[in-house]
Amino acid sequence: MTTPNLQGVARTLLVPLACRAREAARPDALLHDPRVVELLAKLEGGMDCLMGMSELDQTFTVMRARQFDRCARAFLAKSPGGLVVDIGCGLDTRFDRLDDGQMAWLGLDLPEVIALRRQFLPDAERCRSLPCSMLDLTWLDAVAQMNKPVIFLAEGVFMYFTEAEVKPVITALAERFPGGELVFDELTSFSVRLHNRTHPVLKETGAHLSWGVDDPHALESWGLRLVEKWGYFDQHEPRLGPANLMRFIPPLANMNYILHYRLRE
């Protein structure tokens, strides 16, 4: 058994891992991820990694992962043998969930996170990891060298940084990989303030949310074209139970969403 020695934002990676493992054990699982169960069993603490997350928040986390997978699968269907880049990959097992025998996957995260990841999820021919902060844009060279159609995924990442930090990353992606795709989740500025005051994971880890996006179209001036804005209440989800009623309260229904952009040609 291994206890991850992670602090701050890096420590939050344990939460989606535990959420997916718990989900995988359900007969009505929204996301099938057998490998994550094996992975969590090797980490000391097990379900304590949920850090006080409510049942509802766990479901939202699984729905988020499922939507990112859907975007990646749609991209790979159009671009067989394409490249999926996971920014802030943590201990995600997305490669196992998506692998079609042709795709390539590159995971990017802080050096201490990648060191932990490689203990449990070693690199392979089509599945590589890169120990680098996303703010150090030298990692883009590794992506360019692979010379493949590319989709960039940033699940649970950008909101921990300021707009001034994220903008150079996104504009660099648009400049260097025109025609590629970018998917990331965001919160409104109201939701950022609410999460910082009330969310148990932020309290447990000491992490802090810094950036909210109230108008996704405003980012199109960064070299993007909005393809889709996906919300958790866009369609009725039985697993959300009474929480589905939140769809009728716009300030709550629209607090958190996933944005899918094309990097402009």
Q: How far is it, in rounded angstroms, from Cα 177 to Cα 83?
A: 12
Q: Count the residues in the chain.
A: 265
DSSP-assigned letters across all residues of 49-103:
GGTT--HHHHHHHHHHHHHHHHHHHHHHHHSTT-EEEEET-TT--HHHHH--SS-
Q: How far is it, in rounded angstroms, from Cα 225 to Cα 43?
A: 40
Give residue-wise pLDDT tens across range 118-163: 999 999 999 999 999 999 999 999 999 999 999 999 999 999 999 9
At residue 42, the pLDDT reads 82
Buried b (16+ CB within 10 A) or exposed e, 171-191: bebbeebeebbbbbbbbbeeb
User: Residue 213 burial (CB < 10 Å; 0-12/13-18/19+)?
Assistant: buried
pLDDT-derived band at 2 (thresholds 50, 70, 90) equals low
Q: How far is it, in rounded angstroms, from Cα 62 to Cα 31?
A: 7
Give residue-wise pLDDT tens across range 55-73: 999 999 999 999 999 999 9
Which residues partner with 104 through β-bridges?
83
Domains and CATH numbers, the chain: 56-263 (3.40.50.150)
pTM greater than the 0.85 cutoff: yes
Q: What angle do CA 188, 245, 198 make, to 5 degrees?
A: 45
pLDDT score of 103 more than 70:
yes
Q: What percent of the chain has pLDDT over 70?
A: 96
Please give the single-letter amino acid code of residue 213.
V
Give residue-wise pLDDT tens across range 153-201: 999 999 999 999 999 999 999 999 999 999 999 999 999 999 999 999 9
Q: How far is it, in rounded angstroms, from Cα 31 to Cα 188?
A: 26
Q: How far is it, in rounded angstroms, from Cα 113 to Cα 35?
A: 18
Buried b (16+ CB within 10 A) or exposed e, 79-91: beebbbbbbbbbb
Query: Which range (15-19, 46-50, 166-170, 223-227) has the least confidence?
Result: 46-50
